[in-house]
Chains A and B, each alone.
Chain A
Amino acid sequence: MKKLLSLVLACVMMLSLVPAMAEEGLPPMTTENITLTVAHWGQAEAGEPEVIEALIAQFEAAYPNINVEFVAIDQGTWDQGLTNLASEGKLPDVFWVFNVPNAVANEWALDITYYMENDPDAQELYPAMRESAKIDGKNYSYPAVMFPHMMYMNVTLFEQYNVELPDINWTWEDYFELADELSHPEDYNFGISNPLFTDLFPAAYNGNQGKFGWDGEKYNFDEVWINAVETRAEMINNKICEWMTEEEKTNVLGDPGAWPPGMGRTAMHIDWPWTLAQFQTFRKDETGCEWVYYPLPMGDGKGELAIVDNGVISASTEYPREAWELSKWMSWGPQAALKRQETYRSLGYAVSRMPVVSTPEVWQDLLDNATEDLVPFYRGFLERGVNIVPSNWPVAPGWGTIEAYYNSNDIDGKILRGELTAADVAAELQAVADQGVADHLKVLLGE
Chain B
Amino acid sequence: MKKLRIGLVTRREMKGYVFLLPWLVGFVTFFLVPLVQSVWYSWHDVKVTATGLKMTWVGWENYRYIFQQDTVFTEQLTNFFTDSVLRLAVILVFSLVIAMMLNQPLKGKGVFRTLFFLPIIVVSGPVLERLVNEGATAVPLIESYGVNGIVEAMLPPMLARPLSSLFSQIILVLWYSGVPILIYMTGLQKIDSTLYEASMIDGANGWISFWKITLPALRPMILINGVYTLVFLATTGLNEVMATINDRMFRSGEPGGGYGIASSMAWVYALSLGLALIVLLLITKERKGKQIAIQKTGEQIAIERMHAERARNMKRKGGKKHGR
| Residues of chain A having any CB pair with chain B under 8 Å | 79-80, 83, 86-87, 89, 91, 99, 101-108, 314-316, 400-401, 404, 439-440, 442-444
Contacts and interface: CB of A to CB of B under 8 A. Distances in A.
Contacts of B51: 89, 107, 315-316
A358 B51 CA distance: 36
A255 B48 CA distance: 48
Interface residues of B, number: 17
Contact of A86 (B49, B249, B251, B257): B49
Contacts, number: 64
B67 interface: no
Given A107-B47, A107-B50, A401-B255, 9 more contacts: A79-B250, A86-B49, A87-B48, A101-B254, A439-B255, A440-B253, A440-B255, A443-B254, A443-B255
A102 B254 contact: yes
26 contacts: A83-B48, A83-B250, A86-B49, A87-B53, A89-B50, A89-B52, A102-B254, A102-B257, A106-B47, A106-B49, A106-B252, A107-B47, A107-B49, A107-B50, A107-B54, A108-B49, A315-B49, A400-B254, A401-B255, A440-B253, A440-B254, A440-B255, A443-B253, A443-B254, A443-B255, A443-B257
B253 A91 contact: no
For B47, B252, B257, which residue has the most chain A Cβ atoms within 10 angstroms?
Answer: B252
Contact of A102 (B52, B54, B72, B252): B252
Contact of B50 (A99, A315, A439, A440): A315
B72 A404 contact: yes
Contacts of A89: 50-52
Interface of B: 47-54, 72, 249-255, 257
A444 B253 contact: yes
Contact of B250 (A80, A104, A404, A439): A80
A400 B253 CA distance: 11
B48 A102 contact: no
Nearest to A101: B253
A83 B46 CA distance: 12
Nearest to B69: A439
Given A404-B72, A440-B255, A316 B250 contact: no
For B52, B53, B250, B251, which residue has the most chain A Cβ atoms within 10 angstroms?
Answer: B250
A101 B54 CA distance: 17
A101 B253 CA distance: 6
Given A89-B50, A107-B49, A314-B50, A99 B255 contact: no
B14 to A, nearest CB: 40
A99 B253 contact: yes
Given A404-B72, A440-B255, A443-B255, A86 B50 contact: yes
A103 B255 CA distance: 14
Nearest to A108: B50
A80 B49 CA distance: 13
B53 A106 contact: no
A125 B257 CA distance: 32
Contacts of B48: 83, 86-87, 106
B47 A105 contact: yes
Contacts of B50: 86, 89, 91, 106-108, 314-316
A315 B72 CA distance: 32
B257 to A, nearest CB: 8
B24 to A, nearest CB: 27
A255 B78 CA distance: 37
Given A83-B48, A316-B50, A105 B255 contact: no
Contacts of B257: 102, 443
A330 B134 CA distance: 37
Nearest to A87: B48
Contacts of A443: 253-255, 257
A443 B253 CA distance: 6
B54 to A, nearest CB: 8
A133 to B, nearest CB: 15
Contacts of A108: 49-50
A103 B253 contact: yes
A102 B49 CA distance: 11
For A89, A102, A315, A439, which residue has the most chain B Cβ atoms within 10 angstroms?
Answer: A102
A105 B53 contact: no
Contacts of B250: 79-80, 83, 102
Contacts of A107: 47, 49-51, 54
Contacts of B252: 102, 105-106
Contacts of B253: 99, 101-106, 440, 443-444
Nearest to A400: B254
